[in-house]
Amino acid sequence: MRFLDKKTNFDFMGKRKIAFVVSAILIVLSITALVTRDLNFGLDFTGGTLIEVSYPAAPQISDVRSNLSDAGMNDAVVQTFGAATEIVVRIPPRDDENESDAELSTIVLAALQQGVEGEVAMRRVEFVGPQVGDELTEQGILAVVYALIGIFLYVMIRFQWRFSVGAVAALVHDIIITMGVLAAVQVEFDLTVVAALLAVIGYSLNDTIVLFDRIRENFPKLRKANSLEVVNISVNQTLSRTLMTSITTLLVLAALFIFGGEIINAFAFTLIVGVMVGTYSSIYVASTTLLELGVSKFDLLAVEKEGAALDDMP
């Protein structure tokens, strides 16, 4: 990728109004998807039963779903787990309160055994109650909120409050759009997706901090340039690093999504969307917010105490 080594001179900030409209549309569409379709919460949040079984030979997933449907479990989710012979069945909470976990697992095992030569072995059974799911939902939301508060304080201490607002605005932008895409395509939202969202926050923040560092370095160097020119030059200077990081990360995530199996698909998909949105937001949301808040070189200059030169004299 030799073209990444060449110095670029794209007018990113000149297109910031167009980017603002694009971001506004994406955010509105994302919020609409979250309100109308809602997230497809997994058993980690809704509660239910997870049963892992091992087949003597790789079964057809369609046959497994058909057997469960015949047993009255139309809403059961079937996935492979590692090897093709390992199957995970996720069953949402059932209306029959008198049915114990042991009875449910027995019914599922009997349904899976239908038409199979050899024994279908039970590996594990896990039950998540609705109360636990509510607690996980609350803790997941708090984890994201605490992360944003910590990031705001960190960036404010390292740079200046305008940079903090820009960084948090970019992160909120990334989270809303990523969750909107998850709601639109109904990807199962479980604890791995929460972990992916936190990873997106870290990735996007790292990208933004690199750009902010370059902006801070360029303000004293480019004394004759205005704030818009300094930000534009800084974005171009970090563009090759941003693209290389994003491309190599996306290649790994694509491999995980394609070859990692259904268990890790939601995690990889969330990161793929988050990395693409985070790369965009570092350039157009974080930087544009700085300009809209009126950042200038004077905001980054340390205020010299009157008489400091006399204090340093022997």
| Per-residue pLDDT tens digits for 272-310 | 999 999 999 888 888 888 888 877 666 665 444 444 444
For 3-50, the pLDDT digits (tens) are 444 577 778 888 888 988 999 999 999 999 999 988 888 777 777 788
Question: How much is the average pLDDT of 140-160?
Answer: 81
Question: How confident is the model at residue 215, as a pLDDT?
Answer: 85
Q: What is the distance between the alpha carbons of residues 134 and 130, in angstroms, rounded to a whole number?
A: 6
What the chain holds in terms of domains, given with CATH numbers, is: 2-40+132-300 (1.20.1640.10), 48-128 (3.30.70.3400)
Q: What is the distance between the alpha carbons of residues 308 and 310, in angstroms, rounded to a whole number?
A: 5
Mean pLDDT (the chain, rounded): 80
49 torsion bin: left (phi>0), alpha (psi -120 to 50), beta (else) = beta
Q: Taking 90 as the threshold, does the pLDDT of residue 157 lie above it?
A: no
Which of 270, 273, 275 is CA-nearest to residue 245?
Answer: 275
C-alpha R_g of the chain: 26
For 187-223, the pLDDT digits (tens) are 888 888 888 988 888 888 888 888 888 888 888 787 7
Other Cβ atoms closer than 10 A to 241: 14
Which residues, 6 or more positions from 219, have their beta carbon under 8 angstroms from its beta carbon?
Answer: 230, 296, 297, 300
Which of 223, 177, 206, 197 is CA-nearest to residue 286?
Answer: 206
Record the pTM. 0.78
Helix or strand run (H / E) with residue 221: helix 191-221
Q: What is the distance between the alpha carbons of residues 205 and 162, in angstroms, rounded to a whole number?
A: 15
**Do β-strands 40-41 and 188-189 pair in parallel, antiparallel, or remain unpaired?**
parallel
Q: How far apart are the first and last CA of the chain?
A: 57
Which of 265, 253, 259 is CA-nearest to residue 77?
Answer: 265
Query: Three-state SS for 293?
Result: coil
Other Cβ atoms closer than 10 A to 225: 15
pLDDT band at residue 268 using 50, 70 and 90 as cut-offs: very high
pLDDT band at residue 97 using 50, 70 and 90 as cut-offs: low
For 125-143, the pLDDT digits (tens) are 877 766 666 677 777 778 8
